[in-house]
Structure 1
Amino acid sequence: MTKQMNNTPSRGPTDHSVRDQVVDAATEHFGHFGYEKTTVSDLAKAIGFSKAYIYKFFDSKQAIGEVICSNRLAMIMEIVNAAIADAPTASEKIRRLFRTLSESGSDLFFHDRKLYDIAAVAARDNWPSAQAHEQRLRKLIEQIIVEGRKAGEFERKTPLDEATDAIFMVMRPYISPVQLQYNLDDAQAAAALLSSLILRSLSP
């Protein structure tokens, strides 16, 4: 897993190896016990560091969760980018984007449930990592729309920001961790049906 350093200023040394060690241990601990049920004291005891020592590198439990969440969301974006990289058309990119986002979110829910909870908390509480992920998705949707318009696949009358926001809002129930957990049963069908609906609305 690629390490992404937390942007929250630390209170002490910025020794990357120690920070990574804390993040690795926290990922394992949160994955077993859950994020919200774990305190920094619990984490310190589990990994053999003092609570004060952990606070030298992270301001709070959320700061640790931010790094873990950023890592997980970055993995999802890598999967998405790989899925759409060789798509022959902008329309196919829309289909693959929706399908891949719902599949990767569902996979995280079923196979890494406790860590899925971190992503859900991040989305619910608007953590910077969740906001950045949302902005990356919006930017990607915007780029696909622009590509489709240049190729003559999509209409040009709707303002770009309006079209981008509308598509993101249609996708949100199946890509947001908070909402996806209630829509898992029809996520696969929704990815196909709603992407088709989106594409019909984008037709010239």
Structure 2
Amino acid sequence: MLRSSSRLLYITRRTIPLIRNSSSSSISLFDSAKPFLDSHRTRSLPFSTTGGQISRSEHSMAATSSAPKSIYDFTVKDAKGSDVDLSTYKGKVLLIVNVASQCGLTNSNYTELAQLYQKYKDHGFEILAFPCNQFGNQEPGSNEEIVAFACTRFKAEYPIFDKVDVNGDKAAPIYKFLRSSKGGLFGDGIKWNFAKFLIDKEGNVVDRYAPTTSPLSIEKDLKKLLGVSA
């Protein structure tokens, strides 16, 4: 009798509760495995550096908080390859333009950009030019050639940065931010050379202009941000 009791106790401890599916003759082990699955899901959550578990909502909030809030959160390369922290332009109104040297819009845009800059540079206005060769291969030169062209032919005194992509997977982070902040008429992608983004003194993207919009035609919007009446 003692031996039988021992065998019964052993079988009871080893037996996994089985649940028969009412719609078929198969037997499910799901409920028995549920604690294991739940613990597995728990282990897949990220953990904080202090050892505490991070909830999904906290993880989402952390990702959101790290997202750039203004152009001051970006560092770009100048034409010589040196880093430029865009927070150095805090307090200024900016016009960010993707430029090209061999475009049909080159002469008019470079000419008017120089005029706009000369008129308002002493009022806290800056132009940031980013060469781009994605549209008709109309900016094929080196950074040195691009700067020499703009400065010699059009007297550009504003900074010209490293050549970048403005569309696609390899687009410069600053342009991904600009596009997401102000989409165009047919989506957020840049359509051609000389698209323009107007930035206020807090680093916010406040307006976007098509490549065919002449720089002088946005003077009214620029004066409003600068607080210039004349």
TM-score (norm. length: structure 2): 0.26
More relative contact order, 1 or 2 (CA 8 Å, 6+ apart) = 1
Which has more radius of gyration?
Answer: 2
**Hey, which of these two has a bigger chunk of strand by percent?**
2
| TM-score after normalising by structure 1 | 0.28
- Say which structure is richer in helix: 1
